[in-house]
Amino acid sequence: MKAVVAGASGGIGQPLSLLLKACPLVDHLSLYDVVNTPGVTADLSHISSVAKIEGFLPADDGMKKAFTGADMVVIPAGIPRKPGMTRDDLFKINAGIVKGLVEGIAEHCPEAYILVISNPVNSTVPIAAEVLTNAGKFNPKKLFGVTTLDVVRAETFVQAITGAKDPADTKIPVIGGHSGETIVPLFSQAKPEVKIPEDKLDELTKRVQFGGDEVVKAKDGAGSATLSMAYAGFRFAERVMQAAKGKSGIVEPTFVYLPGIEGGDAIAKETGCKYFSVPVELGKEGAVKANNPLGMANEYEKKLLQACYEGLKGNIEKGVEFVKNPPQK
């Protein structure tokens, strides 16, 4: 398994690269960034784990060298929020960064699983899909928007109510997109079942939807979630790698192009959104089946879902348009 981190020198990139370097599923770790990869690579190279490590900058065909032969590319490249910004405010800069990196993937490692972390995920994943489509290389089963941090937050925040010893023992599907009201935690479908007192549900739901803002505010201008994101990004990447190596029964919420995945068409029709995060069954081919949790949502969650659909459609369209009708320079 050759794994690439694109944006490896950043706040997420460095701890994510550390986790991948320490992971026995990774044989070869390749770090790519526009700055500082020599230092990050030298540092991580002293860790006595199995993964061989290399680092590249754009010069001297660095992207080609970094990407060629990759089985998985994780993309945390791009600017993070500062207080007062929405994720959509990042679009102007990050859309072009993701487009350029995915063009490189289409050219040098089109078979790789692509895990997009860069925000706004609701738009950067459609950008990636359009770029791959234009290159004739789009495999919807291998393109994932990483929404695992929303799941991790839901598991963590609900613990105050369940009192569970290990928060990750409570499985909560978080579906929709990855920003504000497009994030929809389905506490009614938690396993094992959780009973949320009615007067706590709004607060808990909002905390999951706006957990990112909590961190942005606390960091006070120094960026957004990096360490918890590296944990979440690694957790998802590890599941993808386990499935690639033949482990069965892995289901994870992730933001995918629904019409390209078994079971996805019905969800796309019901939501009016071609891209949506739902629990997806992972296999060797990538996303093999989209599970539909919509029918089991309760009345409270159905209202959340209506708001989600409205916001998400515009975000998706903006990403698609960025590639179809590029902005004039």
Ligand X SMILES: O=C(O)C[C@H](O)C(=O)O
Ligand Y SMILES: NC(=O)c1ccc[n+]([C@@H]2O[C@H](COP(=O)([O-])OP(=O)(O)OC[C@H]3O[C@@H](n4cnc5c(N)ncnc54)[C@H](O)[C@@H]3O)[C@@H](O)[C@H]2O)c1
By the rule CB under 6 A, 81 interacts with ligand X = yes
27 is catalytic: no
| Structural contact between residues 158 and 197, judged by C-beta atoms closer than 8 angstroms | no
Taking CB under 6 A as the rule, does residue 78 contact ligand X?
A: no
Do residues 190 and 181 lie in contact, with contact meaning Cβ atoms separated by under 8 Å? no
Q: Which does 17 bind (CB under 5 to 8 A by kind): ligand X, ligand Y, none?
A: none
79: CB partners within 8 A, 6+ apart: 90, 93, 94
Torsion-angle region of residue 136: left (phi > 0), alpha (psi -120 to 50) or beta? left
Please count the other Cβ atoms lying within 10 Å of the Cβ belonging to residue 42: 11
Residue (7 or 176) nearer to ligand Y, CB: 7
Binding span for ligand X by CB under 6 A among 2-10, 196-204, 211-219, 250-258: 211-219
Residues that bind ligand Y (CB under 6 A): 6-7, 9-13, 32-35, 76-81, 90, 94, 97, 100-101, 117-119, 121, 146, 149, 178, 223-226, 229
Tell me which of ligand X, ligand Y, none is bound by residue 5, counting a contact when its beta carbon lies within the kind-specific cut-off of 5 to 8 angstroms. none
Q: Which is nearer to ligand X, 2 or 207 (CB)?
A: 207
> How far out from the chain centre does Cα 91 lie?
16
Minimum CB distance to ligand Y, residue 197 (Å): 28
Contact 225, 214 (CB under 8 A): no
Nearer of residues 10 and 279 to ligand Y, judged by Cβ: 10
Which residues partner with 6 through β-bridges? 32
Between 78 and 264, name the residue whose CB sits nearer to ligand X.
78
Binding partner of residue 79 among ligand Y, ligand X, none, CB cut-off 5 to 8 Å per kind: ligand Y
Residue 215's binding partner among ligand X, ligand Y, none (Cβ under 5 to 8 angstroms by kind) is: ligand X
Residues 172, 189 contacting (CB under 8 angstroms): yes
Considering the candidates 150, 166, 199, 202, report the single residue annotated as catalytic: 150
Residue 178 falls in the annotated catalytic set = yes
Number of residues that bind ligand X (CB under 6 A): 10
Given candidates 23, 74, 143, 149, which one binds ligand X under the rule CB under 6 A?
149
The single residue of 46, 178, 199, 202 carrying the catalytic annotation is 178
Task: Measure CA 279 to chain center.
Answer: 13
| Separation of CA 239 from chain center | 13
Residue 6 contact, options ligand Y, ligand X, none, Cβ 5-8 Å cut-off depending on partner type: ligand Y
Closest CA to 184 of 318, 52, 279: 279
- Toward ligand X, which CB reaches closer, 207 or 274? 207
Question: How many CA atoms does the CB half-sphere of 176 hold within 13 Å?
Answer: 30
- Binding status of residue 215 toward ligand X by CB under 6 A: yes
Contact between 207 and ligand X by CB under 6 A: the answer reads no
Minimum distance between the CB of residue 160 and ligand Y, rounded to whole angstroms? 22
The listed partner (ligand X, ligand Y, none) that binds 146, CB under 5 to 8 Å by sort, is ligand Y
Going 117 to 121 to 126 to 131, the CA torsion angle's sign is: negative
Tell me how far apart the alpha carbons of residues 163 and 102 are, in angstroms, rounded to a whole number.
42
State how far the Cα of 70 lies from the Cα of 113, in Å rounded to an integer: 9
Q: Are 66 and 30 in contact (CB under 8 A)?
A: yes
Q: Which is nearer to ligand X, 10 or 212 (CB)?
A: 212
SS3 313: helix
Instruction: Find residue 256's DSSP bridge partners.
Output: 276
Part in contact with ligand X (CB under 6 A); list of ranges 195-203, 212-220, 259-267, 289-297: 212-220
User: Where does this chain bind ligand X (CB under 6 A)?
Assistant: 80-81, 87, 119, 149, 212, 215-216, 224-225
Catalytic residues: 150, 178
